[in-house]
Amino acid sequence: MQTEMRKARPSVESRTRHNAPHPAHRQSTTIESALAEALAARGVTGLAIRADGDVHRFDAPDKRRGNLAGWYVCPSLEVAVFGFWHTGEQQTVTVAGEHDPIAAEQARQAAAKARREREARRQQEQAQTAQQARQEWDAAALADQRHPYLTAKRVQPHSLRQQGGVLLVPLHADGELVNLQRIRADGTKRFLKRGRIKGAASLVGRLAGAGHVYVTEGWATAATIHEASGCPVVATMAANNLEPVARTLRRNLPAHIAITIAADNDRRKAGNAGLTYGRHAAEIIGADITWPRFPCEDCACSDFNDLAACEGRKEAAA
């Protein structure tokens, strides 16, 4: 396994993104027509606008149908606020064309209400998904090592379970099972809808008694590293989840236990997200970082499982 090692220094900076509301005052007869006009300019049409003070959700036009990533609320008959959760955008619409301090305060309160309701709804949905995950996990059998995905990845099932022809990868957070990743025979992967992913992870191996822990993205990559090193490996499921999971590990593990970020090397993709997020996570917690270097120039390999397969093919061809 060819790798490079680099010691990252703890970061002394933190970045916070602020998405300030952008007022879009429009001259209209009613707040409903003013809001409808503003939404239409963003590609959202056909809504039955209700100025009832409640938060209403709608589909963002740039996402899949049923996404409900847009929202609006009309706290009064003079002002409305709408936005999109996935972009952080927020705009205020008023009946009057001039800036109205009272309307601005109403808009601020309405946006705060929308955020509170969204957070409450998110927590409720995640709790329901966690319950579903526990039920499916309890009803599932131990994974068959002959499952096509495991065979293709050349790894053992470890603690995975299986429901029919679907592998179940458990995701834990704060000591609780919160979600499942389903993997079909063809490698298609899906999480349970509206379940928690950020900060959740799947462990291959045991943390008890370990002196060294690896953190990586995919489960198959984690299994490959564990089988090669004997060390426990934490799979975060996504590059942008490396940092929150690594933070939690560093906070909970004794200081003498070393952590290494085993990043993907997305060399064929612009920005190389695997390595970029991996370096960031390593810098944040002061960990080592390693990533795969591939013996072939024309392959699409990107992680340590790919590297193992690539080296195996090279040896077979020799």
Nearest to 212 by CA among 245, 249, 248: 249
pLDDT of residue 6: 46
Sheet containing 79-84, strands listed edge to edge, beginning at the edge strand earlier in sequence: 22-23, 89-94, 79-84, 70-73, 55-58
HSE, CB side, 13 Å, CA atoms: give it for residue 46. 5
Q: Which residue has the tokens 């969204």?
A: 118
User: What integer best gives the mean pLDDT of the chain?
Assistant: 87
Over residues 59-85, mean pLDDT: 91
pLDDT of residue 210: 96
Over residues 285-306, mean pLDDT: 88
pLDDT of residue 107: 76
Burial class (CB in 10 A: 0-12, 13-18, 19+), 33: middle
Global pTM? 0.70
Over residues 33-57, mean pLDDT: 92
CB 39 within 8 A of CB 88: no
Query: SS3 letters for 39-92?
Result: HHCCCCCCCCCCCCCCEEEECCCCCCCCCCCEEEECCCCCEEEEEECCCCEEEE
pLDDT bracket for residue 22 (50, 70, 90): very low
Domains of the chain: 22-127 (no CATH), 142-317 (3.40.1360.10)
Nearest to 179 by CA among 165, 168, 164, 163: 168
Over residues 6-33, mean pLDDT: 49
Segment 121-152, tens digit of pLDDT = 889 999 999 999 999 999 999 999 999 999 99
Structure tokens at 157: 């099932």
pLDDT of residue 277: 96
**Most confident range, picked from 4-8, 27-31, 85-89, 257-261:** 257-261
Distance CA 238, CA 196 (A): 13
Over residues 294-310, mean pLDDT: 83
pLDDT bracket for residue 312 (50, 70, 90): low
Instruction: Indicate if the pLDDT at residue 208 is higher than 70.
Output: yes
pLDDT of residue 176: 97
pLDDT bracket for residue 98 (50, 70, 90): very low
Q: Which residue has the tokens 């397969």?
A: 309
Q: Which segments of 85-222 are extended strands (E)?
A: 89-94, 141-142, 161-163, 166-173, 176-183, 189-191, 202-204, 212-216
HSE, CB side, 13 Å, CA atoms: give it for residue 265. 18
DSSP string spanning 92-105?
EEESSSS--HHHHH
CA distances from 60 to 76, 131, 225 (A): 24, 28, 40
DSSP string spanning 250-310?
HHHS-TTSEEEEE----TTSTT-HHHHHHHHHHHHHT-EEEEE--S-SS----SHHHHHHH
Distance CA 75, CA 108 (A): 10
Least-confidence region, from 102-106, 225-229, 270-274, 310-314: 310-314
pLDDT of residue 105: 78
The dihedral built from the CA positions of residue 110, 116, 117 and 122, taken in this order, carries a sign that is positive
Instruction: Indicate if the pLDDT at residue 13 is higher than 70.
Output: no
